[in-house]
Amino acid sequence: MNDVDSSRGIWHGTTILTVRKGGRVVIAGDGQVSLGATVIKANARKVRSVGKGDVIGGFAGATADAFTLFERLESKLEQYPAQLTRACVELAKDWRTDRYLRRLEAMMIVADRETTLVLTGTGDVLEPERGLMGIGSGGNYALAAAKALMDGPLGAEDIARKAMAIAAEICVYTNTNVVLEALDSSK
């Protein structure tokens, strides 16, 4: 998300990171919600399980918009059970073409046991390289830290926690109140 003038009253900033390693996939998110230069909430939950618990997701962007997208994704997963990629492509089509959804300002990372995907309002459905992706204001910091830790002995959860801590030291819109969801992976 772009940094914005606090006089406009725009909520922004977050860090969401996904790590896939050693038979686990993890999505971690910080808990900070900011309005300009003010921390409004320090323990928001931006990561959750979706559907029947076989998909996890995290969002960066406007909270109401993200909840709308999570609801739409759950609906698509009901329509296309056990087909995360198909559900996400269908959601991206709706997001891109529906007049209401086009105005939503959010990004999502979602994962199931086999696949990790990033969804954007421009219609992108991307599978990250090496099972790593970061979004939000601190996403690139967390991603860089996770990349540096991937070849070491740490598991997915420990990599995510360390990378999120590093991002929180650098990004003023990211804190250390991390929520983490994990699934056993087939990769």
pLDDT at 112 over 90: yes
What is the number of domains present in the chain? 1
Q: Domain range holding 175?
A: 6-182
pLDDT score recorded for residue 110: 97
pLDDT score recorded for residue 104: 65
In a domain, 38, yes or no: yes
**57: how many CB neighbours lie within 10 A of its CB?**
27
pLDDT tier for residue 63 given thresholds of 50, 70 and 90: confident
pLDDT tier for residue 11 given thresholds of 50, 70 and 90: very low
CB neighbour burial string for 114-144, b if at least 16 within 10 angstroms, e if fewer: ebbbbbbbeeebeebeebbbbbbbbbebbbb
In a domain, 108, yes or no: yes
Catalytic, 14? Answer: yes
Structure tokens at 127: 């599978």
- Among 7-16, 39-48, 112-121, 174-183, the range scoring the smallest mean pLDDT is 7-16
Place of tokens 């994990």: 182
In a domain, 1, yes or no: no
Structure tokens at 53: 């618990």
In a domain, 187, yes or no: no
CATH number of the domain within which 163 lies: 3.60.20.10
**112: how many CB neighbours lie within 10 A of its CB?**
23
Taking only the tens place, the pLDDT of each residue in 96-106 is 776 656 566 67
Active-site position among 14, 18, 116, 174: 14
With a CB cutoff of 8 Å and minimum separation 6, the contacts of 23 are 184, 185, 187
